[in-house]
Amino acid sequence: MRQVFEAHRKAGIKLKAKKSKLFQKKIQYLGHMLSQEGIGMVPEYVERIKNWPPPKTVAELNSVLGFYGYYRTFIPEYADLTCEMNAQKKATKLEWTPGMDEQFQQLKDKFQNAPI
């Protein structure tokens, strides 16, 4: 820890004690939950994903894909599950297919596992 503080001092970066969180078992940082087990998803975000309804417009689809995309590294086959949806991102009217609906649900199910 001394080396970290020294590096900050040399770089001219000032730290505020009351804004610092030291000796925490878990901490939320940049939209991720950091712990001894590794890097995971923030539980509140996973809950939002779980309750997200299927998009009805292209704008809603872009919002969904943007939000979900932040955690794409946690989800195996993310690109395969969103390929058909990504093809609709620039469409003038959203054509939501049963296949997209199934992939959307599979994606939500994978997020619920909240892998680390």
The Cα 87–Cα 83 span in angstroms is: 6
pLDDT of residue 22: 81
Radius of gyration of the chain (CA): 19
In order along its 116 residues, the chain shows pLDDT tens digits of 889 889 999 999 998 888 887 888 998 888 899 998 899 899 899 899 999 999 999 999 999 999 999 989 889 899 999 999 999 999 999 999 999 999 999 999 998 886 76
Can you give 20-57 as a three-state secondary structure string? CCCCCCEEEECCEEEECCEEEECHHHHHHHHCCCCCCC
pLDDT of residue 1: 83
- Residue 47's alpha-carbon distances to 25, 31, 41, in angstroms, are 22, 14, 10
Residues 6+ apart with CB under 8 A from 59: none
3-class DSSP assignment, residue 87: coil
| Vertex 71: Cα angle to 40 and 18 (nearest 5) | 55
What residue has token string 């939501």?
96
pLDDT of residue 114: 67
